[in-house]
């Protein structure tokens, strides 16, 4: 068996600069993807992970302007020369934001579109559509739904189904769970588990969450500024906790625990349990008072039976009551669409509740003028673009700390 049979992809001393940028995004990157493995690619934001994925499909350099040096071979094809459509027939990529990929009005057509280049018979096409949907845990009820009107987890699973339906030899997943709430993440991860179990596919998984990498990866590479900084099995890579952190990547918590206790390379919970068994005595009983932070102070914000209806009729808050005391750090947790942002905006006076009462420092929130309120309750938006008005970081910070604060109310 030759090298070509063992490796699905070979990247050799790859340099890439996007047109208009001075710095190279990839700076002498080399790696191999072996047949049948799940290779996880990690690295800080901007390390070059997505760029690498694009380079492995020929989209870079063939569809994106820039300057390239080095060599990339995928499934025996040179990505510099081979037809991108030919590569795409055999290597599928799923992007972080699946919406950019959707063009059809139904889920069925979306998956069928991905199959078009394969020139299958109608029956085979239908079979693959149903099979791939089932594989990602979506039933036939989804066939006629619009891909754009699905939840985040459902969208991502449709994108994965479309990619997998082609039965590609190489599947590249670029942060498939990153924008999802915990429920959506779990749906996608369940789909990945089935892929792993039932298909013998080579997968490149770009992923931030170390726990998912630990679960799926056979090997891990860590990129830093366009180069491979670490490479090895998950046990080896994750046990080098400090080095990993210096590259901007967090290890799984259990690896960190194992490193601090000197347990050796550990990246899954069961391994840690195994090594700790016997050496741990019965834990002392905790009383409820043990775990608390600083004693809570006076009430700062109080919401009582707050309701909020958006103009389109969506009832985002239906009787939310909450008390926030001085010195507390409170996590508002809930699935996408459960009203977290709405409640926070109500507490900051950015939305006026449809019913119920909000008090800040004991006073009804309606009694405040905007300037006083915004210097009492500061609000940081989920998407910072919604909040930033100034041309420079200096002006933005100076502005946020006082002058003209009324502009903040939108």
Stretch that binds Mg ion, among 45-53, 248-256, 260-268, 327-335 (CB under 5 A): 45-53
CB of 73 to ligand ATP, least distance (A): 20
**Where do runs of H (alpha helix) occur along 348-406?**
370-376, 393-400
**Rounded to whole angstroms, how far apart are CA atoms 298 and 78?**
67
Helix H or strand E segment including 235:
helix 234-239
Binding-residue pattern over the window 23 to 52 for ligand ATP, x denoting contact by CB under 6 A: --x-----------------x-xxxxxxx-
**Rounded to whole angstroms, how far apart are CA atoms 226 and 25?**
5
Which of 23, 42, 19, 44 is closest to 31 using CA atoms? Answer: 42
The smaller minimum CB distance to ligand ATP, of residues 48 and 234, is found at 48
Residues 6+ apart with CB under 8 A from 224: 43, 44, 47, 247, 248
* Residue 163 binds ligand ATP, judged by CB under 6 A: no
CB of 166 to ligand ATP, least distance (A): 24
* Residue 50 binds Mg ion, judged by CB under 5 A: yes
185-224: contacts with Mg ion (CB under 5 A): none
Residue located via tokens 């950019």: 100
* Residue 224 binds ligand ATP, judged by CB under 6 A: no
18 binds, among Mg ion, ligand ATP, none (CB under 5 to 8 A by kind): ligand ATP
Burial class (CB in 10 A: 0-12, 13-18, 19+), 380: exposed
**Rounded to whole angstroms, how far apart are CA atoms 185 and 27?**
32
Stretch that binds Mg ion, among 41-49, 76-84, 105-113, 291-299 (CB under 5 A): 41-49
Give the chain's end-to-end CA distance (angstroms, integer): 65
Residue 324, strand partner residues: 301
245 binds, among Mg ion, ligand ATP, none (CB under 5 to 8 A by kind): none
343-382: contacts with ligand ATP (CB under 6 A): none
| Tokens matching residue 339 | 């009203």
CB of 355 to ligand ATP, least distance (A): 42
* Residue 248 binds ligand ATP, judged by CB under 6 A: no
Helix H or strand E segment including 28:
strand 26-34
Binding-residue pattern over the window 49 to 88 for ligand ATP, x denoting contact by CB under 6 A: xxx-------------------------------------
Residues forming the site for Mg ion (CB under 5 A)? 49-50
Residues forming the site for ligand ATP (CB under 6 A)? 18, 21, 25, 43, 45-51
């Amino acid at each position: 068996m030759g090298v070509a049979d063992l490796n699905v992809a070979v990247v050799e001393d790859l340099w890439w600069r996007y047109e208009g940028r001075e710095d190279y995004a990839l700076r002498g990157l080399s790696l191999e993807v072996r047949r049948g493995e799940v290779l996880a690619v990690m690295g800080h934001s901007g390390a070059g992970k997505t760029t690498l994925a694009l380079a492995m499909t020929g989209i870079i350099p063939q569809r994106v302007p820039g300057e390239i040096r080095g060599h990339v071979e995928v499934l025996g094809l040179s990505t510099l020369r081979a037809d991108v459509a030919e590569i795409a027939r055999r290597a599928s990529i799923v992007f972080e934001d699946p919406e950019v990929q959707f063009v059809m009005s139904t889920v069925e057509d979306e998956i069928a579109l991905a199959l078009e280049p394969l020139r299958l018979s109608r029956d085979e096409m239908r079979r693959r559509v149903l099979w791939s949907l089932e594989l990602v845990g979506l039933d036939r009820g989804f066939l006629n739904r619009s891909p754009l009107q699905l939840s985040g987890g459902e969208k991502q699973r449709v994108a994965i189904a479309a990619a997998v339906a082609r039965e590609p030899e190489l599947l590249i997943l670029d942060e498939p769970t990153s924008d999802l709430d915990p429920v959506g993440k779990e749906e996608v991860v369940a789909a990945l588990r089935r892929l792993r179990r039932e298909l013998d596919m080579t997968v490149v998984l770009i992923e931030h969450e170390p726990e998912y990498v630990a679960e799926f990866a056979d090997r891990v590479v860590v990129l830093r500024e366009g180069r491979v900084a670490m490479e090895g099995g998950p046990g080896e890579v994750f046990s080098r906790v400090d080095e990993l952190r210096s590259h901007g990547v967090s290890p799984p918590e259990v690896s960190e625990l194992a490193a601090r206790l000197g347990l050796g390379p550990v990246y899954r919970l069961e391994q840690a349990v195994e090594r700790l068994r016997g050496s741990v005595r019965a834990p002392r009983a905790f009383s409820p008072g043990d775990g608390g932070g600083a004693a809570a102070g006076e009430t700062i914000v109080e919401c009582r039976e707050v309701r909020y209806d958006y103009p389109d009729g969506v009832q985002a808050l239906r009787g939310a009551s909450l008390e926030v005391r001085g010195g507390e750090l409170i996590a508002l947790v809930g699935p996408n669409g459960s009203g977290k942002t709405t409640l926070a905006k109500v507490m900051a006076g950015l939305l006026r509740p449809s019913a119920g009462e909000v008090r800040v420092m004991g006073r009804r929130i309606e009694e405040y003028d905007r300037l006083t309120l915004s210097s009492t309750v500061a609000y940081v938006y989920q998407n910072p673009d919604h909040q930033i008005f100034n041309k420079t970081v200096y002006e933005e910070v100076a502005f946020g700390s006082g002058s003209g604060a009324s502009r903040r109310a939108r």
